[in-house]
Every structure is written in structure tokens, then in C-alpha cells.
Structure 1
Amino acid sequence: MAKHRQYKLTTLLKRRSDITEHEFHRYWSEKHPLVVNQWLVKHGVVKYVQYHTPSQFREECEFGQGSSHIAEFDGYVELTVPNIDALKDAFKDPFYKSHVAPDEAAFIDAQETRRTFGYEELYIEGSKIEQN
């Protein structure tokens, strides 16, 4: 039996150089969701998660494989969608250009932002190993 796949857009974020880390994280947590939540739901996003990675946390992560190559991003966001068309439709929506993009510009350095898109494979959930 084929597994139902969850697709994820992951966007790695750098804050604008003229705002502090604290300002970035506060804005992203408190203001940005007020702009994007309804827009994301309207376009079929089933999960929106912010991962905040302050420099202090990145410094504490210098252990194990890859420890000398800690990604220098201030955070990343994951959008879980049923398919890529949901994302394409969302970014074509005039609301993106009129509301979301200007809000992102208030705290994100767009030139330093990076994206990945792929699918999720779940192996452990709730401390239990998933059976294939």
C-alpha cells in the first residue's frame, strides 16, 4: 500500500541587517502570523511551523557531525501542503503581493532567503517507531 505523502516547503530566513535578533523573532512570532494565517489556510496549507534559531542556540549546537557547518539562518518556516499546486496558487493570489510580501519585507532579507521543497517520511512519532 502506498503511503500518503506530506509535502513541505521549507524556507530558511535571514533577518534584515537593520533589526536586532530580538526584533526579528518578536515580529515573526507576534505580527507575521496575523497577516499570513488565513491566507495559508485558504490555499490548503495544513501546517505552518516557525523554527526560531537565535545565534546563542546555533553556538550551542557545535557538536556531532556537521558541527563546523552550522547554518547561519535566523530561523526557518515549514509549510505542509497536499501538493505543490497549493503553494503556486497561494503565491499567485493578489493578497500575497499586496499584504504578505510587504510584511515579509519588514523583517526578512529576501536576498539571503533559501528554499527547499520535498516530501516527509515519518519514522518515529511519539517516541514510537513507525512500521512501514
Structure 2
Amino acid sequence: MYAFTILGFKRDDMTEDEYHNYISTVHSAHLKALLAQNDIVSYTMQHNTSQTRDDLLNKVYQGQMPAEKVFECDAIIQVVFKTVEDYLRVREDPHFQTVVNPDHVNFAHPTKTRFVMGWHEVHVADGKVVS
């Protein structure tokens, strides 16, 4: 399996709440059915806010996490697929090209957002060791 991971940053003119609401409700609604129709394994979002960066990291690491170690992206979105061809079908679909891809200008920071792709391993799922 493979994963396409987006280190997402909100547009400068959006609040954190506006950004997280938009990607969770509007953008994901454009994409979910298309991913499912093309055998995509999973589509997940991790929402990172100033509160989670400050409060939760501080609680978990008891104030011992150096600030320079904290990456401040607004979200991490991951699409997991069995074959690259599965993901290519999504990207080549007319709905992706005319609706999903153009929608990025409504929320994504055009120069800060980053992408990475690699193979995907699952070691624990649903509380069970699976590898």
C-alpha cells in the first residue's frame, strides 16, 4: 500500500475554525465518494490547531517538547491506496479535475502546503497488533 500525505496550511485570510470546518465539511464532501468509488483504502485528516499544539503537546510532553521540534501545519491529510493506478484514476476523473482540484484555492495556502508520498504500513489497528 501507498500513502499520499498533505501537510496542509490554511490561507492567511482564514481563521483556524473556518479552515477546519471547510476541509471537514465542504472539501471532503467533494472528494469522499470519488475516493470510495476508486478503491481508496482510507482518507483521513488530523486537525492541528494552536490549542492542540500548545495544550495537548504540553500535557503529553509535560513542557519538555522543544519549540523547534513542533511542526506547525494546520492539518495532515492522508490518502492510502493499494496501487498508484487507483490514485491516478481519482486524479484523472473529471469530477476531480473540475470540482475537487479547483476547490483548493478556497482554503489551501498556495506556497506553504507540502506533499509527500511513500509506502504505507499498519502495525496496530483497532487495538490489535497486525504486523
Normalising by structure 1, report the TM-score.
0.81
Counterparts in 2 of 1:122 and 1:42: CA distance versus 1, 3 Å: closer
1:98-113 equivalences under 5 Å are: 98-113=98-113
The separation in 2 between residues aligned to 1:128 and 1:93, in whole angstroms, is 36
Decide whether aligned partners of structure 1 residues 129 and 66 sit closer, same or farther in structure 2, where only a CA change above 3 A counts.
farther
Question: How many residues of Structure 1 are paired with residues of Structure 2 in the alignment?
Answer: 126
Q: Give unmatched runs, 5+ long, in structure 2.
A: none
Runs of 5+ in structure 1 lacking a partner? Answer: 1-5
Deviation at 1:44, TM superposition (A): 2.2
Cα RMSD (Å): 2.1
**Distance in 2 between residues matched to 1:87 and 1:30, nearest whole Å:** 22
CA distance in 2, matches of 1:110, 1:43: 27
Given candidates 11, 36, 40, the residue that maps to 1:45 is 40
1:126 Cα offset (Å): 3.6
Q: Compute the TM-score of the two structures, normalised by the length of structure 2.
A: 0.82
Moved over 4 A (4+): 64-67
Structure 1: distance between partners of 2:95 and 2:129: 41
Letter in 1 for 2:107: F
Aligned to 1:76: 76
Secondary structure of the residue that 1:79 maps to in structure 2? Answer: strand
Aligned residue in 1 for 2:26: 31
